[in-house]
Amino acid sequence: MKSEPVASDNEITEGIDSRFLISDLCDLVAGYMDQEQVQEVYQAYLFGAQAHDGQIRQSGEPYIYHPLAVARILASMHMDVKSIVACILHDVLEDTPATRTAIEETFGEDVAHLVDGVSKLTHIKFKNKIEQQAENIQKVLMAMAKDIRVIMIKLADRLHNMRTLGSLRPDKRRRIAMETLEIYIPIANRLGIYTIRHEMEDLVLKAMYPLRYKILEHAVSKASGHRKEVINKIDKALVTRLNEMGMDAEVQKRKKHLFSLYKKMRDKHLSFNKVFDVYAIRVLVDTVDECYRVLGVVHNLFKPIPGRFKDYIAIPKSNGYQSLHTALYGPHGIPMEVQIRTEEMDLFAESGIAAHWLYKSPDESGMTGAHARARDWLTGILEMQQSAGDSLEFLENVKVDLFHDEVYVYTPEGDIIKLPRNATPVDFAYMVHTDIGNSCVAAKLDHTFAPLNTPLYSGQTVEIITSSSARPNPAWLNYVVTVKARSNIRNFLKNMRADEAVSQGRRLFERCLKGLGLRLEDVPEESMKNVLEEYGFKSVAELLEDVGMGNRSASLVVRRLVPERVAQGESEETREMRSQSPLAIDGTEGMVVSYGKCCFPIPGDSVIGILSKGRGIVIHREECKNISQTRVEIDKCIDVKWSEDAEGSFSCCIRMDVANKPGVLARTATIISDEGADIEDVAVEDRDGFTTTITYQISLQGRAHLASIMRRLRKAPNVLKIWRI
């Protein structure tokens, strides 16, 4: 039983001199290659050094240092000799006069294929940088699908480029870092190469947010003392207990990578002081059985945190990663993560598919599950390429598999639309075009109708049904997740509400002026100008909108506009004329007319309108108890009536007492549905064991419709009493 010290942040770069020499590389590969293969590596160095002779990197060092450093990364993962040779030569086709034929004649077809697969398309002119990037990535992925060593070389190449970003301009550093974050880190993760992935992530953080990186690095260093003390106590207790049980295990202490800390703080909105798993413990054993035995020991020593145990041994991750993860309350109640895995699992977790290299086998019969999964993914890459129209579409298709925080869906024409996780068909509609979003009425997911608030998943085909008379629904704001959808809905509703308010304000003005024998056009221009200045409005439209929104009484404004006519017109005849012309409500006024949720007025009811600030006119039933006090304030009350052709759906509540018998709820709901009404809500209350009260909130057309529904319900079996509330 042994214990290891805490590992450094960048395990790959630890102790690495940027001036890594060929003698160092030969010593490294000699640890697992025979002398003939080491000699082949040296011959590749001579070939590459001659080809790159006189070339200098932007850092000022000879160019050959870069291929040697890339080769070292793969040599540390014990990659085969062909991969190491291809690493040393990976830039000769792109940057030197050397030809593929020369490489093939000297080092063989395998090496030539690997070098060609990694080389960029430098001799083709592209429309823009995005297209060039897509074409180059497509070329690498296609070569990778035939020989996975291509992407291993490319990942090592990108890793060393990230290590040496300091010599580049800030804008170029950010561009390369973003490309690494979007493409290469997800590929490394998909292939299970966590060692490269973690270092790349930290280097991306350092390149894109250098100040945040320094602050976080300083915070981790400052907090190390106390955290190390806690983890050392756990380590000591665990080692002692495992020794007592006679188990041969290795206990390692690991420091969380800065990018992981940063992502956790950002995603969960935590301060550094609230992140306790800066350090973690990893226990390595020989067998799977021992993994679960160690888990029992750990949970006996320290209290596990509920809901934080994950068994990736029984159910591996998609990239083949296996381990037991658990979180504990350590000394002083500080949470601590513990990982338990076998030596083989640990090797795979660090190196991914490179840990199980099979190219020495003439067949793939001995292929591991992880390698088989990688092969399946690469087969899918080939299929994507065959169906893709161009490199940009292909790259988007690949991202579907690489990014789990984004959703990629298809239009009926096969175009790819990228959306954030939990996006809905409404988000999709606005992403396609603003007009499609504004006129959206329904959606089909994979040719089947689905609610507009249904979360989308990658790979679905989304079809939006539109109508020229449709308009955005304010309820959409409750579930859309994209900024484009949210801002467009708000802007449309704001403009629509303003237009409706202007129209409503004009109707209210005309109604008041009609009692005085005037029209809005008859108001003196000077009088209107004075009122606008007094109220602080720039135009008549702003005044009408304010009145329509219920912020100002039309009758009070009219008194200021034509005070002499108001004084002359206050006669019994005028009041009678006004009382005979109530405002007609037809249900199509939009958002400036709403209906009281206390009394649920419907067409056919005797109603009254109440001016409500910011809401326009709220319609109540005449007998509504909630407006008894408001009716005293005459300026807030509007005489209204239902138009003869009122249309739309109106909410109404009915309540019934029923015998407590099976099937009563289903039968009554069926009757309501058969009558063409929609059930918006239902509540069931058991009264005395024999009787149940059912309350339905339904959507219908008016009193005649309601009467028809209630007649049928009264005749239903076990319905004892029914009434409207």
Task: Please check whether residues 36 and 151 belong to one and the same domain.
Answer: yes
For the domain that residue 170 is a member of, what is the CATH number? Answer: 1.10.3210.10
- The whole-number pLDDT of residue 43 equals 92
- The whole-number pLDDT of residue 254 equals 75
Q: Does any domain span residue 364?
A: no
**Mind telling me the catalytic residues?**
94-95
3-state secondary structure of 285: strand
Task: Please check whether residues 583 and 542 belong to one and the same domain.
Answer: yes
Q: Does any domain span residue 363?
A: no
Task: Please check whether residues 13 and 144 belong to one and the same domain.
Answer: yes
Task: Please check whether residues 577 and 630 belong to one and the same domain.
Answer: yes
Task: Please check whether residues 503 and 593 belong to one and the same domain.
Answer: yes
Task: Please check whether residues 242 and 299 belong to one and the same domain.
Answer: yes
CA within 13 Å, CB half, 696 = 25
For the domain that residue 342 is a member of, what is the CATH number? Answer: 3.30.460.10
Task: Please check whether residues 311 and 431 belong to one and the same domain.
Answer: no
> Domain containing 446: what range?
405-481
The pairing of strands 583-585 and 640-642 is: parallel
Task: Please check whether residues 227 and 183 belong to one and the same domain.
Answer: no
- The whole-number pLDDT of residue 590 equals 61
- The whole-number pLDDT of residue 524 equals 77
Q: Does any domain span residue 382?
A: no
Distance between the two ends of the chain, CA-based, in angstroms?
A: 76
Q: Which of residues 455, 481, 507 is at a domain's end?
A: 481
All residue ranges of the chain with pLDDT < 50 are 4-17, 121-127, 356-367, 387, 400-401, 404, 571-580
Task: Please check whether residues 9 and 132 belong to one and the same domain.
Answer: yes
Q: Does any domain span residue 397?
A: no
- The whole-number pLDDT of residue 292 equals 92
| Residues 6+ positions from 192 with CB-CB distance below 8 Å | 317, 319, 320, 321, 348, 349, 351, 352, 353, 370
DSSP β-bridge partners for residue 463: 444
Q: Which of residues 171, 193, 211 is at a domain's end?
A: 211
Q: How far lies 16's CA from each of 21, 72, 632, in Å?
A: 11, 10, 86
Q: Does any domain span residue 393?
A: no
Residue 181: DSSP 8-state: I
CA within 13 Å, CB half, 31 = 12
Total domains, the chain: 5
Q: Does any domain span residue 376?
A: no
Q: Does any domain span residue 446?
A: yes
- The whole-number pLDDT of residue 131 equals 62
- The whole-number pLDDT of residue 567 equals 54
Q: Which of residues 611, 642, 673 is at a domain's end?
A: 642
Q: Does any domain span residue 82?
A: yes
What whole-number distance in Å separates Cα of residue 157 and Cα of residue 151? Answer: 9
Task: Please check whether residues 103 and 26 belong to one and the same domain.
Answer: yes
For the domain that residue 673 is a member of, what is the CATH number? Answer: 3.30.70.260
Task: Please check whether residues 456 and 551 belong to one and the same domain.
Answer: no
What whole-number distance in Å separates Cα of residue 489 and Cα of residue 480? Answer: 10
Task: Please check whether residues 203 and 224 belong to one and the same domain.
Answer: no
